[in-house]
Amino acid sequence: MTPGDAHLPAGTAVGVIDGLGRRSLVQAWGERWASAPDHPTVFDDAAGWVTAAELEQRTRTVAGRMAAAGLHPGDRVLLSAPASIDLVVAHIAALRLGAVVVPANTAYLERELAHLVHDAAPSLAVVASDEQARWIAAAGGDDAAVIVGTDVALPDGPDPAWLDGVGSEDPALLAYTSGTTGAPKGALLTHGNLLSSVEALGLAWRWTPDDRLILPLPLFHMHGLGVALHGALTAGGSIVLRRAFDAADSLDAVAAHHGTQFFGVPTMWGRLAASGRIDELAALRVGVSGSAPLDPGLHATIAERTGHALLERYGMTETVILTSNPYDGDRRPGSVGLPVPGVELRLAEGTAEIEVRGPNVFAGYWQRPDATAASFHDGWFRTGDVGAFDDDGYLRIVGRTKELIISGGYNVYPREVEDVLRTHPAVLDAAVVGLPHPEWGEQVVAAVEGPGGPADVAALLELTRAQLASYKRPKRIVFVDALPRNALGKVTKAEVAPLLA
């Protein structure tokens, strides 16, 4: 059996898996737009529905502006803004030009944005606030043109000769993540990587042009951008964008727009379940959870109240989606399901680290050949997650080899937070851990070793407020007499958590 066969609908043509990701995203989307120009494609509250033909025209216009401003294939375009049609247009326009989109979380502060700007060297940055623009200009000197406003209000220009000229091997996205170790690195994904994953999801999740996806996820991480937005554009479906997540707003949008699909992280599903209105989601065709483990109790509550079990799936910035519970068949609580079409998985001998191979696996870390080489094992990408297979091939994630905290679906790297804490004179050393938490899944908490003491906690919280995006900040900082260490003097993280519980 070819990997991923378990997800295929009956009657799928032989060889379909070999054909995944063989074009560019923009070729696939262009075909959709040409075949159904009047199809309502993207909605936001400010502009209402935009049809496929309008999306084609608007992305062409913005591509012309970007090209007239000097943007060429391969140049990086940093995008950082809340979800809107204008942001979607800017994203697609950059891809149509062959530029590489660098999505940036709107919560990033100056230090975090400066790292992206130094590393990715974008030629153009499109942001939502004057403050972000100042930070980028300060970090990038005169090298990056910075525009505030996702309408990209630059002078119009003619269609560039290279519009839609990219192929499947060309780079599309530079998504920053720390991978298994170290400072944030840019994971470079090609058009083919990204397209193969959403084509696989189209098959696995039976995604059709009749689907209406209610999308409250931000468009600056893989879940909202590379899974949800790209997936809907590739399937020719419709997308209802929400500027931010709010349970009542999401439920209202499902009702008002006759939503058939809803994608969220477990924190969102928890808030929906607590809203008292979760039964309204019975109207959906499918709800998907991912980015962090879905509590089996929450899974059961939602299934009971809506009549549908959520599809839990497992993904990663470097690989988009690896596994999903099946659309037809057992949607197993506590399991992330079976490899999606095209994806092969194995567990490394000894460590049981999950390793992956397939057309979805990224091209490498931007300008980091050593980090790229270290992330592969005999041609298989090492996820840093530890897995176990049930007898019938369902995967469970049972641990991590990487130091990572996932809070509300956002990744937090303990090392980054520790480095910030250590810059304070009251702190000799710091250990940041994730404690189990009912709302966030894991909560970021820090243990610090003096010279200072509890009187300094307020100053440390202030320091983290100035240096770190809000979701990375420790919710609690505790001074301890001494951090637990092994014989080599290295802090033993496993012994830190009990000190804080």
Residues that bind ligand AMP (CB under 6 A): 177, 222, 290-293, 312, 314-317, 336, 383-385, 397, 400, 406, 411
Q: 293 contacts which partner out of ligand MCA, ligand AMP, none, CB within 5 to 8 A by kind? A: ligand AMP
Does 145 bind ligand MCA (CB under 6 A)? Our answer is no
Does 434 bind ligand MCA (CB under 6 A)? Our answer is no
User: Minimal distance in Å, beta carbon 244 to ligand MCA?
Assistant: 5
Does 80 bind ligand MCA (CB under 6 A)? Our answer is no
Return the number of the residue (123 or 443) whose C-beta is nearest ligand MCA. 443
Token match 């303990």: residue?
414
What dihedral angle (degrees, nearest 10) is formed by the CA atoms of 147, 150, 151, 153?
A: 0
Q: 177 contacts which partner out of ligand AMP, ligand MCA, none, CB within 5 to 8 A by kind? A: ligand AMP
Please provide the size of the chain in residues: 501
Token match 């307020």: residue?
458
Return the number of the residue (154 or 195) whose C-beta is nearest ligand MCA. 195
Among 139, 146, 222, 288, interactor with ligand MCA by CB under 6 A: 222
Token match 């999740």: residue?
205
Does 4 bind ligand MCA (CB under 6 A)? Our answer is no
Chain positions 375 to 414 lying near ligand MCA, rule: CB under 6 A, are 407-410
Measured in degrees and rounded to the nearest 5, phi and psi for residue 254 equal -60, -45
Beta strand segments in 134-270, E: 145-148, 171-177, 185-190, 212-215, 238-241, 261-264
Here the tokens at position 112 are 């975090």
Q: 397 contacts which partner out of ligand AMP, ligand MCA, none, CB within 5 to 8 A by kind? A: ligand AMP
Q: How far is residue 207's CA from residue 234's CA, in Å, rounded to a whole number?
A: 9
User: Minimal distance in Å, beta carbon 452 to ligand AMP?
Assistant: 33
User: Minimal distance in Å, beta carbon 385 to ligand AMP?
Assistant: 5
User: Minimal distance in Å, beta carbon 176 to ligand MCA?
Assistant: 11
How would you classify the pairing of strands 320-324 and 376-377? unpaired
User: Minimal distance in Å, beta carbon 245 to ligand MCA?
Assistant: 4
Among 186, 224, 231, 236, interactor with ligand MCA by CB under 6 A: 224
Among 35, 208, 470, 492, interactor with ligand MCA by CB under 6 A: 470
Chain positions 226 to 265 lying near ligand MCA, rule: CB under 6 A, are 244-245, 265
Q: 336 contacts which partner out of ligand MCA, ligand AMP, none, CB within 5 to 8 A by kind? A: ligand AMP
Here the tokens at position 273 are 């379940």
Q: How far is residue 120's CA from residue 77's CA, in Å, rounded to a whole number?
A: 9
Q: How far is residue 62's CA from residue 64's CA, in Å, rounded to a whole number?
A: 5
Q: How far is residue 162's CA from residue 72's CA, in Å, rounded to a whole number?
A: 9
Helix (H, G, I), strand (E, B) or coil at 195: helix
Q: How far is residue 381's CA from residue 400's CA, in Å, rounded to a whole number?
A: 15
User: Minimal distance in Å, beta carbon 374 to ligand MCA?
Assistant: 20
What dihedral angle (degrees, nearest 10) is formed by the CA atoms of 22, 27, 32, 34?
A: -140
Does the CA dihedral 14-8-216-294 come out positive or negative? negative
Which residues of the chain form contacts with ligand MCA (CB under 6 A)?
A: 217-218, 221-224, 244-245, 265, 267-268, 290-291, 315-317, 407-410, 440, 470-471
